[in-house]
């Protein structure tokens, strides 16, 4: 029997992840034909491109399209999903594009902007803006659609990588799946983080009490493996600025992991970060914190660094973005206040 397992991660609707095991009676069959027959609406060209760039493996080894599948061969597939809504509307919305070439572009997203259309958010998103931008470039046809390689939350600011061609999307998607893309965030968290650096390891899945949230589970059979590395950047006594590097990419990973070690993100209302902790020895503390919340009424999280291998040049390129004004302003107020 052929087994097909769909893997779940934060990009479950961006990528399709398959694992096929050939039956013991499998007759010799070309790899590209074998996979095309087993994925709904897959084209031979799309599958061949995935094989070419190493997104389709046989027994964890790169093979050519003409490789003949044998009994018990294990074929793993990582490919971007085709867009679910081809009728997206292009909208003339300003976006901060910090880098662009024929294959991809990098956006420095503002907090508050939804990345992809969804329930109650069919317009005004980053994808709507990028459709307009790309369709108005003379060297591209009106049929081209930008491809999300990953996401960041609506109220998280920072760098987002977008593919402009299907080839680039497949190539970059494989890097995210392999965790070879470097992602570093700045986060302001409640409390004085004890260690200068550390690693948080814990399965992340949907909170059993509130499906909008992610939670960390001790049971290895619940959720998906997740690893976050952190180090302290600056201390303010009652809160700490940390740098978080993602080894995996799960929904709300930093927010859930930091809450798990009792250092909820500052001003993160969803995870309890707008509850003002009590520090009686500091003057007008509650008023000061509320002023900070007013300046930055969203979680203090910024996707600051993104590094990846370019799909055409094969060079590892690295980008950084400055903290946005609301984040910088709060940090300056904290420095003056604790001084």
- At residue 183, the pLDDT reads 94
Model confidence, pTM = 0.79
Are the C-beta atoms of 182 and 237 separated by less than 8 Å? no
Could you give the CA distance from residue 83 to residue 152 in angstroms, rounded to a whole number?
18
When pLDDT is cut at 50, 70 and 90, the band that residue 3 belongs to is very low
List C-alpha distances in Å: 190 to 37, 133, 311, 326, 332. Answer: 52, 39, 39, 17, 16
- Residue 203 to residues 9, 17, 83, 218, Cα–Cα distance (Å): 11, 19, 29, 7
Q: What is the CATH number of domain 3-80?
A: 3.10.290.10
The answer to whether the beta carbons of residues 230 and 244 sit under 8 Å apart is yes
Domain 97-176 and domain 182-338, same fold? Reply is: yes
| Closest CA relative to residue 194, chosen from 262, 140, 148, 248 | 262
Topology of domain 97-176, CATH:
Pseudouridine synthase (3.30.2350)
The token duo for 221 is 């059979």
Residue of 84, 82, 90, 81 whose CA lies nearest to 140:
90
Percentage of the chain with pLDDT > 70?
88
> By CB neighbour count within 10 A (0-12 exposed, 13-18 middle, 19+ buried), where does 292 fall?
buried
How far the first Cα of the chain sits from its last, in Å, is: 68
Tokens of 243: 């740098």
| Average pLDDT over all residues of the chain | 86
- Greater confidence (338 vs 294) lies with 294
What's the order of all strands across the beta sheet hosting 61-62?
3-4, 15-21, 74-80, 56-58, 61-62
The pLDDT, as a whole number, for residue 7 is 32
Q: Give dist(CA 10, CA 204) in Å, integer.
A: 10
Q: Note the pLDDT tens digit of each residue in 221-280.
A: 888 899 999 999 999 999 999 999 999 888 899 999 999 999 999 999 999 999 987 766
Q: What percent of the chain has pLDDT over 90?
A: 55
Spatial distance between the Cα atoms of 306 and 9, rounded to a whole number of angstroms: 20
Structure tokens at 125: 């998103």
* Cα–Cα dist 176/196, whole Å: 28
The pLDDT, as a whole number, for residue 227 is 94
Distance CA 281, CA 151 (A): 41
Q: Which pLDDT score, from 0 to 100, does residue 2 have?
A: 39
Can you list the positions of beta strands (E) in the chain? 3-4, 15-21, 29-30, 56-58, 61-62, 68-69, 74-80, 97-100, 104-109, 147-148, 157-163, 182-190, 197-201, 203-206, 214-217, 227-235, 239-246, 301-309, 316-320
- The CATH code of the domain at 182-338 is 3.30.2350.10
| C-beta atoms surrounding 209 within 10 Å | 7
Beta pairing, strands 316-320 & 301-309? antiparallel
Q: Say if CB 52 and CB 35 are below 8 A apart.
A: no
The string of pLDDT tens digits covering residues 30-61 is: 999 999 888 877 788 888 888 887 889 999 89
Q: How confident is the model at residue 127 (pLDDT cuts 50, 70, 90)?
A: confident
Confidence of residue 119 (pLDDT cuts 50, 70, 90): low
Asked whether the beta carbons of 162 and 146 are under 8 A apart, the reply is yes
Q: Per-residue pLDDT averaged across 316-320, rounded? A: 96
Contacts of residue 277, Cβ cutoff 8 Å, sequence gap at least 6: 190, 191, 238
For the chain, what are the domain ranges? 3-80, 97-176, 182-338
- Catalytic site positions: 153
Query: Do residues 181 and 305 touch, judged by C-beta distance below 8 A?
Result: no
φ and ψ of 3, to 5 deg:
-100, 135
228: number of Cβ within 10 Å:
26
């Amino acid at each position: 029997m052929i087994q097909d397992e769909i893997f779940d991660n934060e990009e479950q609707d961006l990528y399709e992840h398959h694992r096929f095991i050939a039956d013991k009676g499998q007759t010799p069959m070309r790899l590209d034909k074998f996979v095309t027959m087993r994925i709904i609406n897959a084209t031979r060209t799309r599958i061949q491109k995935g094989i070419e760039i190493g997104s389709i493996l046989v027994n964890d080894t790169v093979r050519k399209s003409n490789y003949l599948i044998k009994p018990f061969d294990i074929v793993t597939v990582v490919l971007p999903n085709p867009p679910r809504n081809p009728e997206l509307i292009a909208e003339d919305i300003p976006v901060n594009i910090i880098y662009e070439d024929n294959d991809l572009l990098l956006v420095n997203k503002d907090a508050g902007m939804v990345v992809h259309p969804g329930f109650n958010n069919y317009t005004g998103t980053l994808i709507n803006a990028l459709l307009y931008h790309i369709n108005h470039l003379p060297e591209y046809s009106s049929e081209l659609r930008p491809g999300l390689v990953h996401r960041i939350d609506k109220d998280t600011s920072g760098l987002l990588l977008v593919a402009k061609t299907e080839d680039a999307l497949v190539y970059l998607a494989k890097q995210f799946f392999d965790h070879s893309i470097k992602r570093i965030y700045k986060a302001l968290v409640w409390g004085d983080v004890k260690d200068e650096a550390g690693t948080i390891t814990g399965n992340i899945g949907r909170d059993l009490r509130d499906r909008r949230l992610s939670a960390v589970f001790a049971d290895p059979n619940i959720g998906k493996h997740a690893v976050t590395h952190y180090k302290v950047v600056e201390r303010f006594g009652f809160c700490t600025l940390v740098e978080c590097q993602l080894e995996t990419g799960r929904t709300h990973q930093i927010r859930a992991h930091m809450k798990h070690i009792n250092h909820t993100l500052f001003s993160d209302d969803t995870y309890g970060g707008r509850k003002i902790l009590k520090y009686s020895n500091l003057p007008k503390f509650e008023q000061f914190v509320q002023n900070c919340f007013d300046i930055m009424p969203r979680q203090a999280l910024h996707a600051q660094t993104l590094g990846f291998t370019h799909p055409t040049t094969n060079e590892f390129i690295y980008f950084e973005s400055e903290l946005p004004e609301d984040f910088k302003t709060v940090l300056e107020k904290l420095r003056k206040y604790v001084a």
